[in-house]
Chains A and B, each alone.
Chain A
Amino acid sequence: MKASEEAHSAGQGLRADLISAIPSLRAFAVSICGNSDRADDLVQETLVKAWGSLGTFSEGTNLTAWLFTILRNIYYSEFRKRRREAPDPDGLIAGRLVAPESQHAHMDFLDFRDAMQKLPLDQREALILVAASGMSYEEAAEICNCAPGTMKSRVNRARNRLSELMSAPPTAEAREWSAAEHLSAATRD
C-alpha cells in the first residue's frame, strides 16, 4: 500500500514535469520534421519511451534535454528507415506542409519552413536547438553527441545555406535539381 502511494506521488511530480516539457518537445519535433501530425506522433513515442526508461534519467539533470535526446534518437532511426524504404520522403512531406499558425511580417512562412527542410538534418537540428530553442552550443552539442565546435560550425553552415535558399526564389529547375539531390542522397546509403 505504502509503495503504491509513493509510486503515486512520484508519478504526480513526474507527470507535472513531463507536462511542462511537452510544449518545448512539440516545438522541437515540428521544427525538425516540418509536419505537425508527424511531430505529435514523435512526441507521443518519446513520452512512452521516456516513461519506460525513467530509471536511466538522473534526477536533478535537465529533463527537457533528456527528452530531446530521446526524440532525436527516434527521429533519426525513423529517418534512416524511411530513406531505406522510400527515396525522397522528406521532399514529399515538404510538399504538404501544415498551414501557418500565424502571420509573420518579414518572410513567407511556408518558404521558410520549406527552406528549413532542405537543410541537411545535422545542420537543421543544430539551428533549431541553438537559434530557436535557446540552448547554448554546449547544451546542444550534448544532445547531438558532438563537440561544441562542431555544433557551432553546423549552425553557421545552416545559417549560410538557409539565407542562400531564402534569397534565391526557387525556380522549377532548382526544385528539380533539389529533388534529384535528395534522390541521390537517398540511394547513396
Chain B
Amino acid sequence: MGNKNPENIVARAKADDDAFAGDGRYSQRPGPRRVETFSGWVMTRDEFGDRRRGVGEARCGAQPAQRQRPVEFQDSIGKELRNLYDDVVAQPVPDRFLKLLNQLETNVLSSPATSSAPRKSE
C-alpha cells in the first residue's frame, strides 16, 4: 500500500493476467520483457522503468491461507534491498544458462529412459 503510485499496481495486475495463459502457465510473448517475480507478479520493465515492484497476493490467491499482504519496508534498508535485488532481476538471462538448458534437454531427449526425463503430462 505504501507504493507511490497505486495505478501501477492495477496496471501490473492486468499485465499479470495477460501474461498468464488460460492454464495458469506463464506464456512467453513478444514485446516488453516480462519478469515473473516471486509472488507471481509480472513486472514489465519497459513500461514501468522505475524500481517499484509488483508486490501482492493476487497470483497466489490459490492459497487462501495467504491473507497477509507481503511486506514492503519503506525505509532506506528496504529500498536498498529491493534495488540490489531488482538490479539483478532486470538483467538479461546470461547465455550460459540458455546453453545449459539446451544441453540438459539434449541429454534427456537422447536418453528418454532416464528417470530425469520431465514428467509433464500436458
Contact B108 A134 (CB under 8 A): no
A47 and B101 contact, Cβ closer than 8 Å, known pairs A24-B36, A24-B37: yes
A137 CB–B CB distance under 8 Å:
yes
CB closest residue in chain A, given B59? A62
Interface size on B, residues (CB 8 A): 63
Contact A132 B66 (CB under 8 A): no
A134 and B37 contact, Cβ closer than 8 Å, known pairs A7-B112, A11-B105, A107-B76: yes
Interface size on A, residues (CB 8 A): 66
A166 to B104, CA, bound (A): 43
Contact A26 B77 (CB under 8 A): no
Total contacts A-B at CB 8 Å: 176
What secondary structure prevails in chain B residues at the interface with A?
A: loop
B58 CB–A CB distance under 8 Å:
no
Instruction: State which residues 35-61 of A face B: CB under 8 Å.
Output: 40, 43-44, 47-48, 51-55, 59-60
B10 CB–A CB distance under 8 Å:
no
Instruction: State which residues 100-125 of A face B: CB under 8 Å.
Output: 101-102, 104, 106-107, 109, 112-113, 116
> Using Cβ atoms and an 8 Å threshold, which residues of chain A touch B101?
15, 18-19, 47, 51
B35 CB–A CB distance under 8 Å:
yes
A-B contact pairs, 19 of them (CB 8 A): A7-B109, A16-B26, A19-B97, A20-B34, A24-B37, A27-B85, A28-B85, A31-B85, A51-B116, A64-B38, A102-B87, A106-B80, A130-B70, A131-B72, A132-B81, A136-B60, A136-B69, A137-B68, A138-B68
A residues apposed to B, CB below 8 Å: 3-4, 7-8, 10-11, 13-24, 26-28, 30-31, 40, 43-44, 47-48, 51-55, 59-60, 62, 64-65, 68, 101-102, 104, 106-107, 109, 112-113, 116, 127-139, 155, 159, 162-163, 166
